[in-house]
Amino acid sequence: MPPPITKLCFNTLISMNANRIIISFLFLTLLGLILNQKGFFIPEPVMAAECKKEILKSSKYRTHLIELYTSEGCSSCPPAEKWIASLRNNPNLGKNFFPLAFHVEYWDYIGWKDRFAKKQFSDRQRKYASLWNSKSIYTPGFVKNGKEWRSFPIRKIPSPSTEVVGALKATPTGKRSYKISFEGEAKNLNLNYSLLANGITSKVTRGENRGRNLKQFFAVLSHNKRTFKNGMTVEIPISQITSKEQMVAFWLDSPKTMEPLQVVGGCF
């Protein structure tokens, strides 16, 4: 059996076993302090007046998929969540990149139960760690195009890709259903589809973030995966968590490496 994967939170240091992890801890801890200083902040996005459901179609160029693994129970996560939230009003959202925030449940025992968190999302992060031959998982943790992405705030949003992979299209066929088509090479791919929530505030009363109001954007409510067949129809599951603004994301990835080939997302 492979060795157990260690859980890490940048303000809760547990079994650190690599210099690069320690350096990242120090960097993000310092970053969190800087972001919380008076006079320096990431503006909270102002949601558009209307977020209308429509046909979603990417360009033929690869769209970057950005994943955040986070927890409302981790005191180092709010700066990363604010950064993700700031992407809501970026004009290139859904064109050059699309973000997802997967909330993990392995910090719930500290005192605050994250209502967005699921073991399924923690397992997804663990699978990434296994693919990278890493013995640790941590929050906040970023993944860009299936690869670990450290020092995220220093790096700019990925530049538009010049890699031609084909356009991915999601056409609404009912209240919760979409027809998915892809104009590129579609052999041996999985279709992932997720429902997201924007603008939901949690008043945290316990744990490391006690007393804080955390407003979530791009929070994944559900994630499903099926073997892709061009022209297939999928149904977006109903979530018990509701929000004024919901979004959907669809992406194709490799069953072996989880590396995304193309992604499209927008209002639901």
Q: Can you tell me the mean pLDDT for 135-149?
A: 96
Q: Can you tell me the mean pLDDT for 149-164?
A: 84
User: What is the residue range of 96's domain?
Assistant: 6-33+54-267
> Of all residues in the chain, what percent carry a pLDDT higher than 90?
75
* Residue 124, helix vs strand vs coil: helix
70-115 pLDDT per residue, tens: 999 999 999 999 999 999 999 999 999 999 999 999 999 999 999 9
Query: Of the ranges 20-24, 209-213, 255-259, which one carries the lowest mean pLDDT score?
Result: 20-24
Asked if the structure places residue 211 within a domain, the reply is: yes
**How many domains does the chain contain in total?**
1
What is the enclosing helix (H) or strand (E) of 207? none
128-141 pLDDT per residue, tens: 999 999 999 999 99
Asked if the structure places residue 71 within a domain, the reply is: yes
One-letter amino acid of 97: F
Q: Which residues contact 145 (CB under 8 A, 6 or more apart)?
A: 64, 65, 158, 259, 260
The pLDDT assigned to 5 comes to: 66
Phi–psi pair at 193, nearest 5 degrees: -145, 135
> Of all residues in the chain, what percent carry a pLDDT higher than 70?
80
Asked if the structure places residue 15 within a domain, the reply is: yes
Q: Can you tell me the mean pLDDT for 225-230?
A: 98
Return the higher-pLDDT residue of 259 and 23: 259
Residue 27 clears pLDDT 90, i.e. is over it: no
The pLDDT assigned to 23 comes to: 47
The pLDDT assigned to 36 comes to: 45
56-71 pLDDT per residue, tens: 999 999 999 999 999 9
Asked if the structure places residue 43 within a domain, the reply is: no
CA angle 179, 254, 239 (to 5 degrees): 50
Across the chain, the runs of DSSP E, i.e. the strands, are 6-9, 56-57, 64-70, 97-103, 136-139, 141-144, 147-148, 168-172, 177-182, 190-198, 200-203, 213-216, 219-227, 232-235, 245-253, 260-267
The pLDDT assigned to 186 comes to: 87
Asked if the structure places residue 47 within a domain, the reply is: no
Asked if the structure places residue 206 within a domain, the reply is: yes
Q: Which residues contact 42 (CB under 8 A, 6 or more apart)?
A: 35, 79, 82, 83, 85, 86
**Quick check: 180 and 168 in contact, CB under 8 A?**
yes
The pLDDT assigned to 166 comes to: 98
The pLDDT assigned to 4 comes to: 56
Asked if the structure places residue 46 within a domain, the reply is: no
Asked if the structure places residue 92 within a domain, the reply is: yes
